[in-house]
Structure 1
Amino acid sequence: CSRTIANALPLTSDYRLIQRGERRLELIADCSPAALAHCQAQLIALFARQGIATERLEWRLTAQTVLPQFDRKRRRIVRQAEET
């Protein structure tokens, strides 16, 4: 997954992919909205090859600078509990 993102985004872009629950994914990257949409398409293709029902995924795309969190270990792909 991280390799797909790295290949799809510009070299200078930092990113976060956050999974919330079973279906919700949030992709945040320091790039253009077009580059972000291209990255999403590449991830959907990867997930489809892995047998994931991609049509059930709910995406949120945000093109913005990714701020570092100095109090936590740096992880670009994280899984969080779904908010109720």
Structure 2
Amino acid sequence: MNLLKIIYRKQLFCKLTSRHLNKEPHHIMKHIEGKKFKRAYALWQKCQEDGTEYAPVGRRKTKQQMSIGDDDDEYVDLSDDEIVVEDDE
């Protein structure tokens, strides 16, 4: 079994914020009263009204980064360019 699954087995997982929480009531209350949870909950309610699929806050960011990619990885075709070499004689 994965080590992280063993560690997090005794904790709760928030599907709105993708965070692990301790089962203690004050930890849960602190999470629910936080800005990140409130923002995610408002977005979840909006998605429920619109009928669109909710993507957790952390997951949306990684999907956007993967789809954008880096410009450095693009291939530039230089086969039609003329190469000029000058001799210094």
Q: TM-score, normalised by structure 2?
A: 0.28
Q: TM-score, normalised by structure 1?
A: 0.29
Max Rg structure: 2
Structure with more of its chain in helix, by fraction: 2
Structure with more of its chain in strand, by fraction: 1
